[in-house]
């Protein structure tokens, strides 16, 4: 029996998890799925995810893959793994991919979404950022437009996670309204740790109608200077994790 490379498309609500990445004493998405795969196949696999979502961050289209020798029909992996998962995690599909496919290294883009609402809700409280303050929508849209293209996003990253190269190419960045929701969409070739939440926090901060002495009180000009590394200020106002979703991951020939 030869080895097979199985690709999973995964949806999860991250509220009760300490992120995607396996941790010794905490409940994570990766560990839950590895445990379920072992119950199905009696084998412990190395599960590679496309993105390491943080604690309480959600996913509509996370991608992961693992190598295994097993005779189970490819499409049935999803159904079998789901049997051992709780309702907060769903394997949407399972497909066989070439041996050189790596869900993280083979990705050509990642798309994230962030939800903000001024409405109080018992149902959606863990699925979006409730922000009752008035926000200038025009400024939000203008600030999002500044992010397109390639930039060094080190001011919008957790310091301990900075890399030698912190450049990211942003293909799309925009805000739009759906009912009482403000929805931010961003798509890029790569993202730094907490980068999307830092960007959302900065954009919301500068778009607040009533400035708060406990926040950065940015202007559009200052935001652009930070983005262009003309201002040494770091973004420390990070949007809550509950509003962030990994929507999809793109792959060229896979």
Residues 25 and 113 in one domain: no
Residue 89 domain-assigned (yes or no) = yes
Domain range for 45 is 4-97
Tokens 């929805």 label which residue?
A: 183
Task: Kindly report the CATH number assigned to the domain that includes residue 136.
Answer: 3.30.70.660
Report the alpha-carbon distance of residue 152 to residue 173 in Å, rounded.
Answer: 16
Find the farthest-apart pair of alpha carbons in the chain and give their distance in angstroms, rounded: 65
Q: What is the pLDDT of residues 175-190, one digit of tens each?
A: 999 999 999 999 999 9
254, 100 in Cβ contact below 8 A?
A: no
Predicted TM-score (pTM) of this structure: 0.93
Inform me whether the pLDDT recorded for 129 exceeds 90: yes
Known active-site residue 54: yes
Residue 102 domain-assigned (yes or no) = no
| Selected catalytic residue, list 31, 54, 152, 225 | 54
> Per the structure, how many domains does the chain have?
2
Inform me whether the pLDDT recorded for 162 exceeds 80: no
Mean pLDDT (the chain) is 92
Tokens 């789901």 label which residue?
A: 82
Tokens found for residue 27: 């409940």
Task: Kindly report the CATH number assigned to the domain that includes residue 8.
Answer: 3.30.70.580
Residues 45 and 147 in one domain: no
Which of 37, 66, 97 is the C-terminal boundary of a domain? 97
Which of 48, 73, 97 is the C-terminal boundary of a domain? 97
pLDDT for position 231: 64
Residues 117 and 241 in one domain: yes
Report the alpha-carbon distance of residue 249 to residue 212 in Å, rounded.
Answer: 36
**pLDDT band at residue 105 using 50, 70 and 90 as cut-offs:** very high
Residues 190 and 246 in one domain: yes
According to DSSP, the β-strands at 129-130 and 107-117 are parallel
Q: What is the pLDDT of residues 6-36, one digit of tens each?
A: 999 999 999 999 999 999 889 999 999 999 9
16, 55 in Cβ contact below 8 A?
A: no
Residues 63 and 131 in one domain: no
Q: Which residues touch 217 (CB under 8 Å, ≥6 apart)?
A: 205, 206, 211
Of 40-54, 80-94, 152-166, minimum mean pLDDT range:
152-166
């Amino acid at each position: 029996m030869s080895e097979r490379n199985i690709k999973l498309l995964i949806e999860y609500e991250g509220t009760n998890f300490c992120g995607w990445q396996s941790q010794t004493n905490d409940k994570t998405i990766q560990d839950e799925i590895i445990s379920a795969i072992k119950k199905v196949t009696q084998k412990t696999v190395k599960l590679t995810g496309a993105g390491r979502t943080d604690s309480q961050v959600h996913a509509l289209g996370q991608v992961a893959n693992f190598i295994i020798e097993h005779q189970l029909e490819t499409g049935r992996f999803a159904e079998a793994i789901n049997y051992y998962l709780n309702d907060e995690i769903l394997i949407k599909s399972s497909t066989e991919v070439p041996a050189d496919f790596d869900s993280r290294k083979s990705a050509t883009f990642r798309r994230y979404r962030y939800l903000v609402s001024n409405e109080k809700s018992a149902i959606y409280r863990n699925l979006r950022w409730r922000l009752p303050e008035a926000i200038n929508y025009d400024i939000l849209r203008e600030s999002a437009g500044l992010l397109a293209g390639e930039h060094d996003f080190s001011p919008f990253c957790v310091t301990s996670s900075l890399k030698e190269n912190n450049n990211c190419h942003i293909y799309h960045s925009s805000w739009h309204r759906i009912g009482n929701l403000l929805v931010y969409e961003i798509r890029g070739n790569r993202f730094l740790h907490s980068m999307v939440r830092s960007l959302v926090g900065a954009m919301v901060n500068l778009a607040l109608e009533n400035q708060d002495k406990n926040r950065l009180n940015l202007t559009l000009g200052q935001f652009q200077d930070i983005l262009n590394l003309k201002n040494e200020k770091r973004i420390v106002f990070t949007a809550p994790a509950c509003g962030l979703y990994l929507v999809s991951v793109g792959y060229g020939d896979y």
